[in-house]
Structure 1
Amino acid sequence: MGRDRVKEPAMNHPHNESPVNPLPPVVAALALVIVGIELAFTMGARGLLSGPAAVGWRADWVERFAFSDRVFEWMRETGTWPAEHLIRFVSYPFLHWNFTQALFAAVILLAMGKIVAEAMGAWRMLALFFVGSIGGALSYALILNDPMPLVGAFPGDYALIGGFTYLLWLKLGQAGANQVRAFSMIGVLMGLQLLFGLLFGASNLWVADLAGFFTGFALSALLIPGGFRRLLERIRRP
């Protein structure tokens, strides 16, 4: 087998296997930060932390650290890119509108992050998450003109799904199977988003999510040794 094959999971003797597969530390750390921030906001809003001032923590942090198209357009027009606003590209994934949203984001991060980190390595997983978040924010700003601040880890999560999809795409190719099957997960997720939009009102956030997915998929081709070559070969194949 060549050096650029996708890493296979280690095989352990059944008697030596742990009943709970340990999470890569970087994945657990990201999820803990997301949940920890959300717990602080939730408890503060209920007056359980730091007195009355804590009630406005979420609004204050969204104002300072959420990605804002208004702020992005101001930076483009003035040609100034202060660090206090550039940080919004990587800080918004840690903010959410409510506990349920943060919990779902953390669960997807734990599931997809574990797979990607174990297959590609921790730093590649981090690159997918943060570059996907940046790609989602840029698409949100450039494609839409939405005054709603962008928050949530979902664009980064979708980038990890993009990485997982690329890994599956490679494996199906190695097995001689139909590689289109690798995109079934993103198809189902986009279908669910469409359904929820029809039932509960449309949202523009799917633009950032989908951009995160394609960013993660494309970046995986560059991060995995030999991955870009395989992608070009597949595109050129009649």
Structure 2
Amino acid sequence: MRGLNGKPRVFIPIPPRERPIRRWATPVLFLLLWGCFVAASLLPPGEQRRLLLEWGALSGDLRSLPELLASLRDGHLARLVAALFLHADWAHLVGNLLFLLIFGAPAERAMGPWRFLALFLLGGAAANLAAVLAIGTPDRLIIGASGAVSALIGAYLALFPTARLGLVLPLGLFLQFVRMPAAVLIGVWAGLQLVYTFVGPAFGAVAWSAHLAGFAVGGAFGLVSRAAIHRRMKRVHGF
């Protein structure tokens, strides 16, 4: 077809608008963790304790493979997931929420909400199971999302090994914002978890083994699925 000046018209197709990418898993988990803690804190002390004992993971529950298989029938494994949403105090909760936001948002952007949610729940349950098996003292209560958040940290390192994280350092009277390799910061963090497993602050009161197990599960997940996740990022985000 020609235009009024006799020259052929050129039609440039308009590419379809990209469907907005909804990243909902991180805020949903944030609200669930916060809401569960607030709801539990409103209960009378006796009810709070009973809630923790009924839904928290207990060391010594699963001492052998037959007991682990038997727990599939009596619902004990449900505790491994439910324990992720129970916290001892505000400091315990806020620390996990902070790390969830730092590492969860970019991890969900890369892997998508459903894969991200599966990693949080399954990685956290595996971390709690490791703590149940590793803690020698029976009837020790294991609660909190630390294992699940550690799984996100492990996956983040596997997916973004060259990423850099911002860090605020006190330099004299001033605070200086610096960017450091994520591998260095996460490596220091993982090393501290290993040391604290045997000796360190709150020794015996923190399930450091759950942090290590979650980190290992997340790292393995990131390595195994990295190719598929990178293909997804290229398809969805265009890089």
Using the TM superposition, give the Cα deviation of residue 214 of structure 1 relative to its aligned residue in structure 2, in angstroms: 0.7
**Does 1:127 find its partner at 2:118?**
yes
The 5 Å alignment of 1:142-161 reads 142-147=133-138, 148-161=140-153
User: For 1:224 and 1:131, how far apart are their aligned partners in 2?
Assistant: 18
SS of structure 1 residue aligned to 2:29: helix
Identify the structure with the greater helix proportion: 1
For residues 148-188 of structure 1, the C-alpha deviation after alignment (integer angstroms, 9 at most, x for no partner) is: 1111100000000011101122779xxxxxxxx65323322
Aligned to 2:52: 62
Task: Give the AA of the match of 1:35.
Answer: W
Q: Is residue 42–residue 99 contact of structure 1 (8 Å, CA) maintained in 2?
A: no
Inter-partner Cα distance in structure 2 for 1:203 and 1:220: 29
**SS of 1:61 mapped into structure 2:** helix
Kept in 2, the 8 Å contact 1:128–1:220? The answer is: no
Alignment pair present for 1:215 and 2:206 = no
d(CA) in 2 for partners of 1:186 and 1:105? Answer: 15
* Structure 1 residues 195 and 66, CA gap change in structure 2 (3 angstroms): closer
Number of equivalenced pairs: 190
Q: SS where residue 215 of structure 2 aligns?
A: helix
Q: Any unmatched runs of 5+ in structure 2?
A: 1-20, 165-180, 230-239
Alignment of 1:31-46 (within 5 A): 31-44=30-43
Q: TM-score normalized by structure 2?
A: 0.68
Aligned partners of 1:125, 1:161: CA distance in 2, in Å? 12
C-alpha separation between the residues in 2 aligned to 1:209 and 1:78? 21
- The ranges of structure 1 where at least 4 consecutive aligned residues each deviate by more than 6 angstroms after the TM superposition are none
Q: Which runs of 5+ in 1 are unaligned?
A: 1-21, 45-53, 173-180, 228-238
Displacement of 1:208 in angstroms is 0.7
Q: Does the 8 Å CA contact 1:158/1:216 hold for their aligned counterparts?
A: yes
Aligned Cα root-mean-square deviation (Å)? 3.0
State the identity %: 27
What is the identity, as a one-letter code, of the residue corresponding to 1:157?
V
Aligned 1:1-238 pairs, distance under 5 A: 24-44=23-43, 54-73=44-63, 76-77=66-67, 79-80=69-70, 81-147=72-138, 148-169=140-161, 183-191=183-191, 193=193, 194=195, 198-203=200-205, 205-225=207-227
